[in-house]
Amino acid sequence: QVQLVEFGGGLVQAGGSLRLSCAASGRTSSSYAMGWFRQAPGKEREFVAAISRSGSNTYYADSVKGRFTISRDNAKNTVYLQMNSLKPEDTAVYYCAATTERYSDSPYDYDYWGQGTQVTVSS
């Protein structure tokens, strides 16, 4: 098993940047492909980005492509989401998740989830 804790959320103005971190404990994070998802009030959880176990492959939702970057440091058991050019529509609770399968854009493929961190982008 792995436990996930997200850090780095907060309030930022439109056009600003934030970096989220997801720290893994328990089984080493390199055993898992990792993903970031987000959920806004009244909406379903949606895929943001995913990264393979080695970090050599990444995958993004069209809505964040070119603005967000997912990366990982397996030596630190940490996954990151660098978010630039933030928009008010990026406001949501952001979750990191881990899967023993191939990285995926479906939340149903992920086995472990963090508690989430709030990101609020003001206009």
- Mean of pLDDT over the chain: 95
- What pLDDT score was predicted for residue 29? 62
pLDDT tens digit sequence for 17-69: 999 999 998 867 678 999 999 999 999 999 999 999 999 999 999 999 999 99
74-78: average pLDDT: 93
- What pLDDT score was predicted for residue 1? 84
Q: Give the residues across from 46 on adjacent strands.
A: 38
Please enumerate in sequence order all residues whose Cβ is within 8 A of that of 13, keeping only pairs 6 or more positions apart, or say none: 121, 122
Residue 111 pLDDT exceeds 80: yes
- What pLDDT score was predicted for residue 103? 86
